[in-house]
Structure 1
Amino acid sequence: MNSTDDAPRGDLRHGETTEKIIGVFYEVYNELGFGFLESVYHKSMLLALTDAGLRVETQVHLPVFFRGHLVGDFFADIFVEHAVILELKAADDLAPAHNSQLLNYLKASSAEVGLLLNFGPKPRFKRLVFDNERKRLRPKIESA
């Protein structure tokens, strides 16, 4: 079985990958603590995830379509193993808007699992899942 298609832990889709990511999140938090800019945590997570043997991409482009037309773009903070979107925050607490942001990233992409990681006064994470069967087919952009 290849690592982008890891076996679920219990009933968790990409459970092994998300477990590693959450462990790395706590390692970074424990080493840096609270109070840095989000960009510091972003660079630190990239390094630590890579050190943990995970494949990472940063600022992944996610186009948004409406009625077959490109109407906007998202850029996901980090994409791990071509399977899990990470949205990083350095806020006092997680807000409903943060959940909505990650959920929209999942809707706009082929990824089904996302982690919202907050490097606030207390480290917090949320795991969101949006099954591909619930997504509408996204139209492909054809070159003219």
Structure 2
Amino acid sequence: MIIEEEISKIVFEAALKVHKVLGPGLLESAYEECLYYELKKSNLKIEKQKALPLIYEEVKMDVGYRIDILIEDKFIVEIKSVEALNDVHLAQLLTYLKLANCKLGLLVNFNVKLLKNGVRRVINGSL
């Protein structure tokens, strides 16, 4: 069974490859498609635009949340193409991690010169 840390490395390497080929400045959807394509080569279970229901008082509500990429049902990749990551982006991923009961995720902003400056690891501390 693959652990989250190994998935994190696989995602970072795939994102690095996509960023190297495409560079910054495109729409999130372009990066998502290319990253999904790269990750599918890893033989891991990869899902994109996975619906994420909200459970409120035992009631499952479909409020339109979607995980950009979910890997092995336990690792979330949230893709951005913005001028700078901010607290709202981090809060969004943290909320997705909690709702999906996942421990770790990566927030990846492709709109940067060096990809390493656009990647944030987010840990769900409530698990």
TM-score when scaled to structure 1?
Answer: 0.78
In structure 2, the gaps of 5 or more residues are none
- Give CA deviations for 1:51-81 in whole Å, capped at 9, x if unaligned: 2333210111111122223343411000012
1:70 partnered with 2:60: yes
Distance 1:114 1:121 in 2: 19
Tell me which stretches of 4 or more aligned residues in structure 1 moved more than 4 Å.
none
Q: CA deviation at 1:108?
A: 0.5
From 16, 39, 46, the counterpart of 2:29: 39
Computing the radius of gyration over CA atoms, which structure comes out larger, 1 or 2? 1
RMSD value, Cα: 1.6
Number of aligned residues: 123
Shift of 1:34: 0.7
* Correspondence 1:108-123 to 2 at 5 A: 108-122=99-113, 123=115
In structure 2, what is the equivalent of residue 9 of structure 1? none
Structure 1: give runs of 5+ residues left out of the alignment.
Answer: 7-13, 136-144
**Relative CO higher for 1 or 2, CA cutoff 8 Å, sep ≥ 6?**
2
Counterparts of 1:34 and 1:24, CA distance in 2? 15
Counterpart residue number, 2:42: 52
Shift of 1:95: 1.2
The answer to whether the 8 Å contact 2:26/2:111 transfers is: no
User: Residue 80 of structure 2 aligns with which residue?
Assistant: 89
- The counterpart of 1:103, out of the listed 80, 94, 103, is 94
